[in-house]
Amino acid sequence: MFVDPISVQLPDGIEKDRYAIATYYCSGSRETNLMEFGTALAIEQSTGTWTAVPGETAEVRERCMGRLIGAYEVPSYQIGVPEFVRERHFIIRIAYPTDNFGPQFAMMLSSVIGNISSSGKVKLIDLEFPDSFLEEFKGPKFGVEGIRKYLGVYDRPLLNNMIKPCTGLDPKGTAKLAYEVAVGGVDIVKDDELVSNPCYCPLVERVKYVMEAIKRADEKKREKTLYAFNITDRPDKILENAHLAIDAGANCLMINYATVGLDTSRMLAEDESIDVPILGHSDYTGATYECEWSGLSLTLIGAKLPRLAGLDMIIALTPYGKFPILMDVFLNSAFQMLSQWKHIRPIFPMAGGGTTQGHLEDLVKKFGKNVVIAAGGAIHGHPMGAEAGATAFRFGIDAIMAGKSLYEAAKENEALKVAIDKWGIYSGAAEKQFSIKNN
């Protein structure tokens, strides 16, 4: 076996400001040579191909070749591989020169998980970027701090509602439900990801009806409400949709970032004329993260990369209801949104996907105040109506922040009691050891 010495480097031996570092989880056969496998990935994603070519000179390799900076086996066999082992598992770290792709998502992802995404069991689980790369990204305009400032809410989790049914409502029907949930205490209402500009509910008309309803609701409850209008469309239509919505009165936008692409989302977020928060919906991300052996990790495609693209809050699918997400993966993704990261503002995880009033205690225990609790069915499907469903959430949030248990709070509020009777209180016994507090 020959390994080009340029392709294998110590992590402390590279000029770190020149490289983005990709970490992969991989698998090979019993006979796989870890060093050969790792360098093959690095070369495939930078200067080389399956055979030598004249143009791949020493100068080209020095300037552009990916460097294998870490190769580890799990378990860490050192003196032999047991006879029963047929598949070996590896953690591989490769440093790629950022000059190969520049400060953008399309070519960056092409460079770190392009061809090798079709190479069998190779999953990209993390990316680390040099300061010079990060400095080219503006990040979120609002984030946690900006959204709290707009709403004037600093001391509790925020409450979100997704309008249900998902599709089929006209502008007046959407506005009616938006008013009910806003009056009930919802801070952020959003379109469903399946509604953007359909013929039966045109975007501009929907904005006008909904924002008039939101204004009435805010006057009644004496609080502010954001409504995130879905502007997902062809890339060349998205900015037009954004301006049409804002001109009609929209105070928040939503984009299905995985279907339109991260660069398109970034274009929207970094446009100086877009002066409202942007919610990123995570639909379609499961196509890239669900397989344990391929694609990207949820922490990357569901948190870190859309945050870098400039989105202010992101739907974080929870393990409470209809999605098969591990609790630790959910928590890690939320941590990626909330942790300090150079100049890239922390953003809100919007925990949703089967969330009920019975999950409030567990969410507050895990996140403290810096989470948006997102509910659709548990508000619109409340036996006493959508307003009562929202009120049940808000009463529960306020009671828990005041130190009461959810069980105690349910004794004091009929709407909350009805919700708890219907959906129960989440115990979370298996996950009690996990806790993220961002107070």
Joined together, the tokens standing for residue 292 give 């344990």
What is d(CA 225, CA 160) in angstroms, rounded to the nearest whole number? 10
Chain CA centroid to CA 87, Å:
32
What is d(CA 217, CA 210) in angstroms, rounded to the nearest whole number? 10
What is d(CA 397, CA 389) in angstroms, rounded to the nearest whole number? 13
Asked if 281 is an active-site residue, the reply is yes
- Cβ distance 360 to 392 under 8 Å? no
Bin 230: left if φ > 0, else alpha if -120 < ψ < 50, else beta. beta
- Cβ distance 301 to 113 under 8 Å? no
Q: Kindly name the residue from 141, 164, 190, 382 that is annotated as catalytic.
A: 164
Pick from 436, 284, 300, 305: nearest CA to 371: 436
Range list of H helices, 23-94: 34-44, 58-64
Joined together, the tokens standing for residue 78 give 């050192």
Q: Kindly name the residue from 123, 190, 281, 366 that is annotated as catalytic.
A: 281
Phi then psi for 368, rounded to 5 degrees?
A: 70, -130
Active site positions, annotated? 164, 281
